[in-house]
Structure 1
């Protein structure tokens, strides 16, 4: 899997992946977020609409990315999680920590 990044405003980036966010792909997400932050995009939206499976490694990556974004003076929000991803977020109570939006564009235009 490769994560793609789309810059939508001077300091906002949308990061998209597909299929799985697990121990194999979590480092790729972390690296994509790191590159965005170092490029001046500290406000990040992770579009989860095409992620069909997420495990604890994916959760850990999201939390780590949230911390990195906040340390850089920004934030990380998630958009359009699938049913499986939503269930994992709810079971881990991270749905209370990660701000969730219907679309990536809604995340910073509320």
Structure 2
């Protein structure tokens, strides 16, 4: 499956709306887009994962890179609307303690 990426502004926040799967094939596309948005100093990015039904460790790596980039230029990003199976990856790895996640846990598809 592919990953659909849409970005738009809501006030001062850039929303990155994702749909599909984040894996070794789609992660490079996501990484390029996310890091490009976060490289702007003081950027505020909200990553909406509501329609992401699968993510592997490659996806986690993208968000770790995003966190490092954001910290370097005083930007921030928040993960929102994670499905239960995707949130579980962040929880198991402890990344939910270092990344900002505003979660409305949704059941798997």
TM-score after normalising by structure 1: 0.81
Return the match for 2:9 from 7, 10, 18: 7
- Look up the match of 1:43: 44
**Runs of 4+ off more than 3 Å:** 37-41
- CA distance, structure 2, for counterparts of residue 41 and residue 18 of structure 1: 26
The structure that is strand-richer by fraction is 2
Where do 5+ consecutive residues of structure 1 fail to align?
A: 104-110
C-alpha RMSD of matched pairs (Å): 1.8
Summarize deviations over 1:24-75 as a string: whole Å, max 9, x none.
Answer: 1111111112332356672111111111011100000011012112212111
| Alpha-carbon distance in structure 1 between the residues aligned to 2:91 and 2:76 | 20
Structure 2 segments unaligned to the other structure (5+ residues)? 105-109
The answer to whether the 8 Å contact 1:77/1:99 transfers is yes
**Contact residue 5 and residue 32 of structure 1 kept, 8 A:** no
